[in-house]
Amino acid sequence: MGPNIITIERQIMDAQRRYPEARGAFSGLLSDVAFAAKVIAAHVNRAGLVDILGEAGGENVQGERVQKLDVYAHETLARIAGRSGHVCVMASEEWEQPVAIEPGYPCGRYVLVFDPLDGSSNIDVNISIGTIFSIFRRVTREGPGTLQDLLQGGYRQVAAGYVVYGSSTMFVYTAGTGVHGFTLDPSVGEFLLSHEDIRIPRQGRIYSVNDANLPLADPRVGAIVDQLRRGWEGHPPLTARYAGSLVADFHRNLLRGGVFLYPAVARHPGESPKPKLRLLYEAAPLAYIVDQAGGYASDGEGPILRREPRSLHERVPLFIGSVEDVQLIEGVLRGARALPGT
Instruction: Pick from 246, 261, 286, 323 the residue near ligand P6P by CB under 6 A.
Output: 246
Q: How far is the CB of 245 from ligand P6P (least distance, A)?
A: 5
Contact assessment for residue 312 and residue 150, using Cβ atoms and an 8 Å cutoff: yes
> Which CB sits closer to ligand P6P, 122 or 227?
122
Out of 11, 92, 245, 253, name the contact with ligand P6P by CB under 6 A.
Answer: 245
Question: What residues from 134 to 193 belong to the interface with ligand P6P (CB under 6 A)?
Answer: none
Q: How far apart are CA 227 and CA 159, in angstroms?
A: 35
CA proximity to 111, closest of 121, 119, 103, 100: 100
User: In 10 A of CB 83, how many CB atoms?
Assistant: 15
Residue 129 vs residues 43, 104, 180, 212: alpha-carbon distances, Å: 13, 34, 19, 21
For ligand P6P, the binding residues in 30-69 under the rule CB under 6 A are none
CB of residue 121 to ligand P6P, shortest distance in Å: 5
Smallest distance from the beta carbon of 138 to ligand P6P, in angstroms? Answer: 28
φ, ψ of residue 247 in degrees (nearest 5):
-65, -40
Q: Which position among 58, 244, 302, 341 is part of the footprint of ligand P6P (CB under 6 A)?
A: 244
Q: What distance in Å separates the CA atoms of residue 245 and residue 178, rounded to the nearest whole number?
A: 24
Q: CA 147 → CA 84, 136, 208, 315, distances in Å? A: 20, 13, 33, 17
Is residue 27 a contact partner of residue 12, using CB atoms and an 8 Å limit?
yes
Q: Does residue number 210 form part of the binding site for ligand P6P (CB under 6 A)?
A: yes
* Count of residues of this chain found to bind ligand P6P when the rule CB under 6 A is applied: 7
Closest CB to ligand P6P among residues 162, 182? 162
The mark string for 82-121 relative to ligand P6P (x by CB under 6 A, - otherwise) is ------------------------------------xx-x
In the complex, which residues of this chain contact ligand P6P (CB under 6 A)? 118-119, 121, 210, 244-246
